[in-house]
Amino acid sequence: MLWTLLRRHLRPYAGAVLAVVVLQLVSTLAMLYLPSLNARIIDEGVARGDTARIWDLGLVMLGVALVQVVAAIAAVWFGAKAAMGVGRDLRRAVYTRVDGFSAEELGRFGAPTLITRGTNDVNQVQMLTLMGLNFMVAVPIMAVGGILMAVQEDPGLSWLVWVSVPVLLVIVGVIVARLMPLFRRMQDEIDAVNGVMREQVTGIRVVRAFVRERHEAERFTDANGALARTSVLIGRLFVLLGPVITMILHLATAAVLWFGGQRVDAGLVEVGSLTAFMQYLLQILMAVMMGTFMMMMLPRAVVSAGRIGEVLDTVPTLAEPVHPVEPAQRRGEVEFRDVTFAYPGAEAPVLDGVSFTVAPGTTTAIIGSTGAGKSTLVNLIPRLYDATDGQVLLDGVPVTQLARAELTHAVALVPQKPFLFSGTVAENMRFGAPGATEEQIWAALKTAQAADFVRERTTGEGETAASGLESRLSQGGTDVSGGQRQRLSIARALVAAPRILVFDDSFSALDVTTDARLRGALDARAAGITRIVVAQRVATITEADQIVVLDEGRVVGRGTHAELLAGNETYRQIVDSQVREEEPA
């Protein structure tokens, strides 16, 4: 998977990669030529006392060194440009794919691991790309070139190369084989730490309400401790590499001096050639060492690339239709035609054979006990999920055949758990309609009974102070109450001006008075807009044109409040239970 990712995402930077290869070749050849020049200075200049020769060869050596430095700097620049581009493109690819995931894929992966894969895992591949472009081009050239030049300087000592290099390679291979499973475990443990921290941050109110701080701290300690233990094991292997490589380098140097000194005494080789041979041997071992550093990064990058590939290779179940169909008339009619839905891996369907029609411009309420499938049902309208069987139609066209832009423009959903984004109130209101004017926003806020508290709202101090529509909201809207979040979410849906408004238990945090005022304002403003309301309180839906009663995923009643009260036992039980709950008050 790593090579597939690199091949695909390095293609746009082929020019930069080619420049790296050429410049690294020039830099490495210049580096290989320097020991030979140094040997000639010793043998032809110093040994013979020829100062002119020393100056001539010294100037050539200085020029070669200058070329080597310039080529190395330019190679690093082009390599960094290509590597950073690959990282940017990978992050964009992961984000784009995740953005197209349905709720099913998001639930299967989970938010913590998706965050890790889009950040930490991409960084690992990016860093390997940078190191690879800077080192892996030079390493084989330096190793092969060093061997050829060393043998040319003194063939009699070439056996030192054939002994030291394989020994180093075997040691590195053993350590890398140990590192691979450890790096895979490490990435999974990073996911676990992220998951625990995310749960604790988002659920801090629940943690404190039940005084579970110590338990959550123990959970984090366990996850953090597992990550630390794996990191220590990896660190021990890394620490072991340094002394091993240093020992081999020193032993190789000592062997060259010992056996080479004997050959100098015997007149088989000159001092300059011996010096050059030692430098070439060190260059060969340095090349192997640089390759070792790359090999140490490779296992983690391979694991990270596999995790990224899992995201990129996942085909979203909610795919855009190849040939979208446009409705003949955009009236706001919704029809459920024998709809069945089951979550992946579930033993039984959540919805079973649901059929009913919502006429344009009317209000349909959906009520039922907890777990009856109400939220699942309305989530099928904007295609957060696709029906397992049957069809959901919008203006006579199955939602699976509508373009996503058409569907999102037609349907506005106020979810059961309203979510606000960090930014100003105005930015949140324009989320579904970027071109909305302030007049349109204030009208929607007034309808949602949110205009008064928005006018009074002020955030920041001094130069950063802002009020009204320019006041800032924290991520998730955690700096406003639950009822205010619901009203702002309703206003945001109204600003989008859809044909169909879906309220998924969106009035639960409102008091009875505010609820009544809001529904009255909706009747005046949203006349002609199809409304589908999931509700728990019967008082919220008594005026609905149609009430659908769900029980264990099946439609067990349909009609007005009076009709159901007279002829539907399930609905009567719901009404009676709420009346009994209100009596003590």
- Per residue in 99-153, pLDDT tens? 888 777 887 787 778 888 888 889 989 988 888 887 777 777 777 777 777 777 6
Identify which of 490, 473, 80, 147 has the alpha carbon closest to the alpha carbon of residue 286: 147
Look at residue 583 in the predicted model and tell me its pLDDT.
Answer: 52
Domains of the chain by residue range: 2-312, 334-582
Identify which of 193, 289, 179, 288 has the alpha carbon closest to the alpha carbon of residue 236: 179
Q: What is 334-582's CATH topology?
A: Rossmann fold (3.40.50)
With the CA atoms of 233, 239, 240 and 242 taken in that order, what torsion angle do they form, in degrees rounded to the nearest 10? 160
Strand pairing category for 530-534 and 546-551? unpaired
CA distances from 180 to 132, 296, 302, 405, 558 (A): 18, 9, 9, 45, 60
Q: Tell me how far apart the alpha carbons of residues 581 and 585 are, in angstroms, rounded to a whole number.
A: 8
CA distances from 556 to 66, 142, 203, 505 (A): 86, 79, 36, 20
- Please tell me the pTM assigned to this model: 0.69
Instruction: Show pLDDT as tens, one digit a residue, over the chain (585 residues).
Output: 778 888 888 889 999 989 988 898 888 888 877 877 777 777 777 767 778 888 888 888 899 889 989 998 999 899 999 999 999 999 999 998 888 887 778 877 877 788 888 888 899 899 888 888 877 777 777 777 777 777 776 677 777 777 777 887 787 778 777 877 887 788 788 878 878 887 887 778 788 888 888 888 898 999 999 999 998 988 888 777 778 777 877 787 787 777 777 777 776 767 677 777 777 777 777 777 777 677 667 777 888 888 899 899 888 877 788 888 989 888 999 999 999 999 877 788 999 999 999 999 899 999 988 888 898 999 999 888 889 899 999 999 999 999 888 888 899 999 888 888 888 999 999 988 888 999 999 999 999 999 988 998 888 777 778 888 999 888 888 888 888 889 999 999 999 888 999 998 888 778 888 888 888 888 888 778 899 999 888 888 888 899 999 998 899 999 999 999 888 888 888 888 876 655 544
- Kindly tell me the burial class for residue 31, based on how many C-beta atoms sit within 10 Å of its own C-beta (0-12, 13-18, 19 or more): buried
3-state helix, strand, coil in the chain (%, to 5): 65, 10, 25
Q: Tell me how far apart the alpha carbons of residues 239 and 243 are, in angstroms, rounded to a whole number.
A: 7
Look at residue 222 in the predicted model and tell me its pLDDT.
Answer: 92
Note whether 286 and 166 are within 8 A (CB): no
Q: Which residues of 77-116 are buried (b: 16+ CB within 10 A; e: fewer)?
A: ebbbbbbebbbebbbebbeebbeebbeebeeebeebbbbb
- Per residue in 442-492, pLDDT tens? 999 999 999 988 998 888 777 778 888 999 888 888 888 888 889 999 999
- Kindly tell me the burial class for residue 288, based on how many C-beta atoms sit within 10 Å of its own C-beta (0-12, 13-18, 19 or more): buried
- DSSP assignments along 340-365, one per residue: EE--TT-SS-SEEEEEEEE-TT-EEE
**DSSP classification of residue 464:** G
- DSSP assignments along 378-396, one per residue: HHTTTTSS--SEEEEEETT
Provide the β-strand partners of residue 368.
Answer: 550
Look at residue 385 in the predicted model and tell me its pLDDT.
Answer: 86
H-only helix segments in 470-555 = 482-495, 512-525
Grouping H, G, I as helix, E, B as strand and the rest as coil, residue 335 is strand
Note whether 570 and 366 are within 8 A (CB): no
Task: Say which residues have a Cβ less than 8 Å from residue 326's Cβ, sequence separation at least 6.
Answer: 397, 403, 406
Note whether 542 and 582 are within 8 A (CB): no
Beta strands in 446-580 (DSSP E): 458-459, 466-467, 472-473, 500-504, 530-534, 546-551, 554-559
Grouping H, G, I as helix, E, B as strand and the rest as coil, residue 376 is helix
Q: Tell me how far apart the alpha carbons of residues 35 and 61 are, in angstroms, rounded to a whole number.
A: 9
Residue 583 token pair: 């009596």
Look at residue 392 in the predicted model and tell me its pLDDT.
Answer: 94
- DSSP assignments along 397-410, one per residue: EEGGGS-HHHHHHH
Grouping H, G, I as helix, E, B as strand and the rest as coil, residue 373 is coil
Look at residue 585 in the predicted model and tell me its pLDDT.
Answer: 42
**DSSP classification of residue 11:** G
Look at residue 254 in the predicted model and tell me its pLDDT.
Answer: 82
Look at residue 582 in the predicted model and tell me its pLDDT.
Answer: 54
Identify which of 417, 447, 407, 416 has the alpha carbon closest to the alpha carbon of residue 429: 447
- Which class would CATH give 2-312? mainly alpha
